[in-house]
Amino acid sequence: MSEVVSYERIDRIVVITIDNPPVNAMGHAARRGLCAAVAQFNTDANARIAVLLCAGRTFIAGADISEFDQPPLAPWLPEVVQTLEASPKPIVAAIHGTALGGGLEVAMGCHYRCAVAAAKVGLPEVALGLLPGATGTQRLPRLAGVGKALDMMLSGKPVSAGEAHEHGIIDEIIAGELREGAIAYAERLLEQDAPPRRVSQLRVDKADLDAEFFSDYRQQIARQARGFFAPQQIIQCVEAAVELPYEEALAVERERFTACRESGHSRAQRHLFFAERAAAKIPDVPKDSPLRAINKVAVIGAGTMGGGIAMNLVNAGLPVTLLETDEAGLERGLGSIRSHYEAALKKGRMTQAQLEERMRLINAGLDDIALADADLVIEAVFENMAIKKQVFERLDAVCKPGAILASNTSSLDVNAIAAATRRAEDVIGLHFFAPANVMPLLEIVRATHTAPEVIATAMALAKTLRKTAVLVGVCYGFVGNRMFFPYIREAQMLLLEGVSAARIDQVAYDWGMAMGPHAVSDLSGLDVFYKLYEEWEDKPDDPAYFRMGIELYKQGRYGQKSGAGIYQYDGRTPLPDPAVAELAARLAEELDIAPREISDEEIIERLFYPMINEGARILEEGIALRPGDIDVVFANGYGMPRYRGGPMFYADALGLKTVHAGICKYRERYGERYWTPAPLLEKLAQAGSTFADWQAAQQ
């Protein structure tokens, strides 16, 4: 038949099996094979009904995303779906694992759908900047209703087989083994003489749609998915499903799908999809590396970071001992964890029983006994090298052999921390991002002597904690903060040049950042930045560097937590503060910086070009393994919108010549200190190349 699709007839029933590991994506071979199998079924005089199922761990996970960068090869997925539907004899989709995107579309092209209870179905294309372009925008509203279909397509979240059954997406839940159950279901359909039931011929139920339904929905999504292109296209397709005959609406879907596929947004989002998966692969730490068992974890420090990390661990079911130096600190820490969970309870995100269970998993400790049997200890004390060294000396003395000793440092030298122990191979950095129980990123810092199995265990732990892990090397600030500092530096330099904080933030927000640089500084705390600045050994010798932050810190203006920072606060609402503009003007005079008219374009370049330039240095030094790893850091830890694809992808999209020329332009004005192009950037720009090409050449 074909290398990935097989055809087997058992009496009157045909079983068509797609076997295209790892996730049965509908690449060209699968599409061709499936069309051929349907043709064979239609001409097989003894065959009465067909069951379509998949081998391996899952039903079809969608179209093959890696093909979207190339011209589409026939048969296209929409044609495959139409071919299934057009079959004069019934076809039953039998689902296990996840039927996603094109996978659910194939299933909706079949005449009946059955699934095991553990299966899930969904249309997650929106996460790739796409829409369900193989008739999904037309079929799901017909099966599940307009509201449910929109919710599924715009959230991208899969639903359980049970929920799909309630909404008419799945016809039959199979108890027990899928193949056997699906064949039995097909037998029953034959006995009932069930005809092919074609979803495209169902009517879209418009009964509950009032006149404002779509305009309200559009507005709501414009707020929720600010800046993204695909969501509005999905709404347009569903509106077409309601308003137009099937064939005409399908033409809208085809056209909008192509617009999405070719958009910069989708390219960026597809890049991140693969970059996130590539980041999990460490060349010298194979997938099957031995792991150390992590059953008990101790967290040192019950402050904001320590508490957040503890919550993250217990949320994943891992028992934690939280350690502090005094009773009061411990009570404060436990109190804030409990109140966090109580807030979740009030919002209905957690039951009382879950709350109690999570609190039960947290033990409190004041002495080292609690550390003795921990498999993993995460230190989350002040960002101060002397204190961290003391902690690690202590850990070396009391922890059992083989325990992993991790530091949550966000910037410091993990080699120096490891040197405080006699077991550097067990020491690693686990840089969580605040709030640690919410932010998806984990930078895993590999020090010179960290054992591969410790790295493998940390990567596996990240999966358990539902974090996106990126392995980074040792340098001040690792990948994220090292690249974030020049961004903050320029944001503060712009203040000295007379641009208001509100304008800088607005420009960054409109570019897509979740928050502008000044709002984010106030949220993280200028005191935190100040401590980082103080601990940074080879910081720039420049009286203007981070000067606004230093002066505001000295005035006790730490940001949101003290009611004032770069902004003043009414609750959490930032308000412009004339005193800050005055401070900026006074410092500018002292530093001999003249105010200038600065365009929005310059603000963007000043914020992002130095970040990209630092990224190029990080790549050259091998601190990050790949440009995509850097992009994953910024998309998951720094509020960069996924449709930009991360700083390195953004640079490639702009063209490295443009970025290089921009940096040289600012070098003319501001000198070499901050504006010397990184050698790698210069080399690639001159060669007309990209970071992606450079990465490909490394392999």
**Which of 14, 128, 508, 663 is in the footprint of ligand HSC by CB under 6 A?**
128
535 catalytic per annotation:
no
The interface region with ligand HSC, picked from 127-135, 196-204, 512-520, 676-684 by CB under 6 A, is 127-135
Residue 98 touches ligand HSC, criterion: CB under 6 A: yes
Widest Cα–Cα separation across the chain: 92
Phi-psi region of 575 (alpha: psi -120 to 50; beta: other; left: phi over 0): beta
272 vs 318, beta carbon nearer ligand HSC: 272
The interface region with ligand HSC, picked from 71-79, 198-206, 668-676, 687-695 by CB under 6 A, is 71-79
Alpha carbon distances (Å) from 477 to 318, 429, 536, 602, 692:
28, 12, 9, 26, 24
Residue 282 touches ligand HSC, criterion: CB under 6 A: no
Number of residues that bind ligand HSC (CB under 6 A): 30
Residue 61 touches ligand HSC, criterion: CB under 6 A: yes
Integer Cα distance of 258 and 587 in angstroms? 52
64 vs 505, beta carbon nearer ligand HSC: 64
Angle at 638 between CA 636 and CA 641, to 5 degrees: 70
105 catalytic per annotation:
yes
DSSP calls for 231-275: HHHHHHHHHHHHHS-HHHHHHHHHHHHHHHHHSHHHHHHHHHHHH
Min dist. Cβ of residue 587 to ligand HSC (A)? 49
Min dist. Cβ of residue 15 to ligand HSC (A)? 22
For residue 85, the SS3 value is: helix
**Which of 18, 38, 53, 63 is in the footprint of ligand HSC by CB under 6 A?**
63
Residue 260 touches ligand HSC, criterion: CB under 6 A: no
Phi then psi for 317, rounded to 5 degrees?
Answer: 90, 10
User: How many other CB atoms are there within 10 angstroms of residue 571's CB atom?
Assistant: 7
**Which of 136, 231, 308, 549 is in the footprint of ligand HSC by CB under 6 A?**
136
Q: Please answer whether residues 59 and 96 qualify as being in contact, where contact means their C-beta atoms are separated by less than 8 angstroms.
A: yes
**What b-and-e string marks burial along 595-606, b requiring 16 or more CB atoms within 10 Å of the CB?**
eeebeeebbebb
Q: Exactly one of 85, 105, 172, 443 is catalytic; which is it? A: 105
Phi-psi region of 113 (alpha: psi -120 to 50; beta: other; left: phi over 0): beta
Tokens of 508: 């960054």
Using CB under 6 A as the binding rule, the residues of this chain from 497 to 556 that contact ligand HSC are none
Residue 628 touches ligand HSC, criterion: CB under 6 A: no
Min dist. Cβ of residue 274 to ligand HSC (A)? 6
Residue 72 touches ligand HSC, criterion: CB under 6 A: yes
Using CB under 6 A as the binding rule, the residues of this chain from 303 to 322 that contact ligand HSC are none
**Which of 33, 109, 129, 133 is in the footprint of ligand HSC by CB under 6 A?**
133
DSSP strand E in 134-171: where? 159-160
273 vs 536, beta carbon nearer ligand HSC: 273
In terms of Cα–Cα distance, which of 274, 92, 331 is closest to 695?
Answer: 274
Residue 452 touches ligand HSC, criterion: CB under 6 A: no
The interface region with ligand HSC, picked from 30-38, 132-140, 297-305, 649-657 by CB under 6 A, is 132-140
Q: Exactly one of 67, 85, 125, 590 is catalytic; which is it? A: 125
In terms of Cα–Cα distance, which of 441, 393, 411, 641 is closest to 530?
Answer: 411
Instruction: Point out which residues pair with 363 in neighbouring strands.
Output: 321
266 vs 560, beta carbon nearer ligand HSC: 266
Min dist. Cβ of residue 132 to ligand HSC (A)? 4
Min dist. Cβ of residue 96 to ligand HSC (A)? 12
Question: 626 burial class (0-12, 13-18, 19+ CB within 10 angstroms)?
Answer: buried
Residue 221 touches ligand HSC, criterion: CB under 6 A: no
Residue 100 touches ligand HSC, criterion: CB under 6 A: yes
For residue 597, give every residue at least 6 positions away whose Cβ sits within 8 Å of its Cβ, in sequence order, or none: none
**Which of 14, 51, 65, 479 is in the footprint of ligand HSC by CB under 6 A?**
65
Which chain residues interact with ligand HSC by CB under 6 A?
Answer: 22-23, 25, 58, 61-66, 72, 76-78, 98, 100-102, 105, 124-125, 128, 130, 132-134, 136, 257, 274, 277
The residues annotated with a catalytic role in the active site are 105, 125
